[in-house]
Amino acid sequence: MKITKLFRNRLSHVAVGTAAVMTVLFSGVGTAQADSIHVLRNYHTGRCIDDSVEYGLRAFTCNGMDYQQWRAHWLNGLTATLQNVHTGRCIDWSEAFGLRPFTCNGLDYQQWNMGSGDDIYSRRNGINLDDSFEYGLRAFPRNNLDYQRWHWMNPA
């Protein structure tokens, strides 16, 4: 009787210990951040990324409307697809079509990395989202200027 009780106690300790080790080893593996909604305002122009069926993807005066709210669907800690709350389209960039709003499809044309300098750049080829009064919203090679820096703000 005592041996059975001793065996059960040791077995339960082994099971708890194994579970603790597995938790440490696999924490973060296969987990994703929850989606979050943001307004993306450019450091240089103060304009927000905006998408509507009428005007398309552009930088426009920040106005708090859902045309300027973007759902970040996090694929990992630094990479997300950016889907417009109003249109449901994602920010997409390719060599063939340039920067555009497009039906979300999860391909790397729509995967954006969040840089440590508040830049947003394509996972596919490193090109940055850029806004200036002269050229508007565009994808442009990294230059580390404020044209490519974005405030991630919570919607009002």
Q: Letter for the amino acid at 82?
A: L
Q: Are residues 98 and 66 in the same domain?
A: yes
Domain co-membership, 69 together with 100: yes
Domain, as residue range, for 50: 36-153
The model carries a pTM of 0.78
Residues 14 and 76 in one domain: no
Sequential pLDDT tens for the chain (156 residues): 455 454 455 444 444 343 333 332 233 344 567 899 999 999 999 999 999 999 999 999 999 999 999 999 999 889 999 999 999 999 999 999 999 999 999 999 999 999 888 999 999 999 999 999 999 999 999 999 999 999 999 987
pLDDT of residue 39: 97
Domain count within the chain: 2
Both 102 and 25 in a single domain?
no
CATH of the domain at 52: 2.80.10.50
DSSP character string of 74-127 = ESSSSEEEEEETTT-EEEEEETTTEEEEEE---SGGG-EEE-TTS-EEETTT-P
